Amino acid sequence: MGGPQGIADSSLPALVFVIVYTLFGNDIQTAGIAAVALGGVIAVVRLVRGESARFALTGFLGVALAAFIASRSGRAEDFFLPGLLLNAGYALVYLVSILIRWPLIGVLVGPLLGEGMAWRKDPAKMRLYSRASWVWFAMFIVRLAVQLPLYLAGSVVALGIAKTAMGLPIFALCAWLTYLILRSGGIDLKQATGKGAGSRA
């Protein structure tokens, strides 16, 4: 997902799109250009700072795709369609991972802790990682529950506000809940962070 930075970077162009769309008399083209321009600036800043080119380019392409879809359809709310589909996709992946007993949080954290997928043989860890994965599944479902009706109603301004409000704040809340759940089972995420940083060095 690109972490907190990725969430913030995806929210800002959407906010700019709504602001420009409102100020320029519902001009989708101008709003799209403004959003893509900001997405380009964010990508360049990330590259200059030495951050992952993958996240920088993915973020820019995501904004460009959203602007293209809105421009082609003539519906400003379609700028938010890729984000809605992405949330639905993430929700489905988390749900399936839990149901098949490969909870995604465990798949992500296990290797960072140096245990690979050995945690799957530990019922206690399986329960912890499943609980943590349910948190993220719930986040994506809540986003869809709030934003999808706004999209269907064509409420562009409300949709932009909802996307921004449910971006970084709700991501931070879910990260904190995940930390508490895993810590309750004796899983040290600081150790995982340290190992992850070492592997990237």
* pLDDT tens for each residue of 35-48: 999 989 988 888 88
φ/ψ of 175, rounded to 5, equals -65, -40
**C-alpha–C-alpha distance, residues 29 and 189, integer Å:** 45
- What is the model's pLDDT at position 140? 97
Per the listing, tokens 């820019």 go with 60
* pLDDT tens for each residue of 133-182: 999 999 999 999 999 999 999 999 999 999 988 988 899 899 999 999 99
Sequence spans of domains, the chain: 1-74, 76-201
| Structure letter (DSSP) for residue 101 | T
Give the CA distances from residue 127 to residues 111, 120, 181, in Å, rounded to whole numbers and listed in that order.
17, 10, 10
